[in-house]
Amino acid sequence: MNWQSITFDWNQARAFLVTAEEGTLSAAARALGLTQPTLSRQVAALEQALGVTLFERVAKSLVLTEAGLELVEHVRTMGDAASRVSLSASGQSQQIEGLVTISATDLMAAHVLPDILAELRQKAPGVEIRLLCTNSLSDLRRREADIAVRHVQPDHPDLYARKIREAPARIFGARSFVEGHGRKLTRADAPTLDFIGFDNNEELVVYLRAFGLDVSEANIRLSSPNGVVAWELVRQGFGLSIMADEIAARFPGIVPAFEDVDPITFPIWLVTHRELHTSRRIRTVFDHLAEGLLRVRPERRAR
């Protein structure tokens, strides 16, 4: 191998890659946790080292030259390989200290995970946990999270998934809302009731119909993509919402809405990279989450 040809500064190549992808030096600096002057100098130094003008300094932002356009392809290959280096290294790492990022819905993050993670803090004090609230499945494969708590079965072969259990869910509302009608609510009342929406109202209607409720999107007059906010609206009596029993049980003012509606169940999956599952740190957190999520059960038996 001829090493002479790779003696240019690889960190400058990284600076170039991120700048090209992000579009501006400032954005690249933010993404890399460096400062804009540093990126500016690194890109300029790479241009000088390679003898190629990579960016056309036009007006506000930078635009790739033809040469830069061709070079960024190869640098992107470097970046992809670097990503695999990082992934594989995380998987190989046998040290327990360090950061683990967990992706979960905001409701899980706010109401279910804290207790479980508090125990983990005792068991593994060196582990630092970051809770990422997102409903996207791709954050694992984009390596924005190490472990994800999901409610659908992932099918990508790179992912390792374990089904924890099925969890019951039903429709809940504030006691004031549910009992404010002077009589027990039944599914026949559904068309006239307000429901709180989350992210996707269409999808929510489908779920509600699965309960046997005759509702449409017209029944959703208040919604928030933030689940914790939406749940707060429920608590304050603005409407009804589907909720996992075990979460609803944590709120004394919350009661099941309908007399005659059976709970449905949804799965809880724990997912990680196949490669990351060999890491001692990831494994520790994964196993603790699995055990903790299995143990969480509604504290009261409804009905």
Partner DNA sequence: GCCAATTCATGCGTATATGTATATCACTCA
Partner DNA sequence: TGAGTGATATACATATACGCATGAATTGGC
Q: Toward its own copies, which CB reaches closer, 2 or 122?
A: 2
Contact pick of 1, 5, 60, 218 for DNA (by CB under 7 A): 60
Cross-strand pairs, 56? 63
If one counts every other C-beta atom within 10 angstroms of the C-beta of residue 62, the result is 20
What values do phi and psi take at 297, rounded to 5?
Answer: -140, 155
- Residue closer to DNA, measured from CB, 46 or 102: 46
By CB under 7 A, tell whether 65 contacts DNA.
no
25 touches, from DNA, its own copies, none (C-beta below 5 to 8 Å by class): DNA
The interface with its own copies within residues 103-142 (CB under 8 A) comprises 142
Give the separation between CA 252 and CA 229, rounded to whole angstroms.
18
**Closest distance of CB 76 from DNA, Å:** 19
Question: Count of CB atoms within 10 A of residue 204's CB?
Answer: 21
Q: Does 50 participate in binding DNA (rule CB under 7 A)?
A: no
Q: Give how many residues touch DNA by CB under 7 A.
A: 22
Q: How many helices (H) and strands (E) does the chain have?
A: 11, 11
Binding its own copies by CB under 8 A: which of 23, 56, 92, 250? 92
**From the list 21, 41, 88, 189, which residue makes contact with DNA (rule: CB under 7 A)?**
41
User: From the list 34, 78, 110, 132, which residue makes contact with DNA (rule: CB under 7 A)?
Assistant: 34
The least distance separating its own copies from the CB of residue 139, rounded to whole angstroms, comes to 8
Stretch that binds its own copies, among 88-96, 105-113, 173-181, 202-210 (CB under 8 A): 88-96
Is 24 a binding residue for its own copies by CB under 8 A? The answer is no
Q: Which residues contact 300 (CB under 8 A, 6 or more apart)?
A: 249
Q: How far apart are CA 150 and CA 15, in angstroms?
A: 34
Cβ-based nearer residue to DNA, 43 or 289: 43
Q: What is the DSSP letter of 6?
A: G
Question: Cβ distance 132 to 101 under 8 Å?
Answer: yes
Structure tokens at 177: 């809302």
Q: What, of its own copies, DNA, none, does residue 84 touch, CB below 5 to 8 Å by kind?
A: its own copies
Q: Which segments of 136-244 does DSSP mark as H helices, in order?
A: 175-179, 201-210, 227-235
Rounded Cα distance between 296 and 144, Å, is 26
Q: Which residue's entry shows tokens 């999808």? A: 203
Query: Contacts with its own copies: how many residues (CB under 8 A)?
Result: 48
Using an 8 Å Cβ cutoff, are 23 and 61 in contact?
yes
Residue 284 interacts with DNA (CB under 7 A): yes or no: no
Q: Return residues touching its own copies (CB under 8 A).
A: 1-11, 13-14, 18, 21, 31-33, 50-52, 67, 70-71, 74-75, 77-90, 92-95, 98, 142-144
Q: Return residues touching DNA (CB under 7 A).
A: 11, 24-27, 33-38, 40-45, 57, 59-62
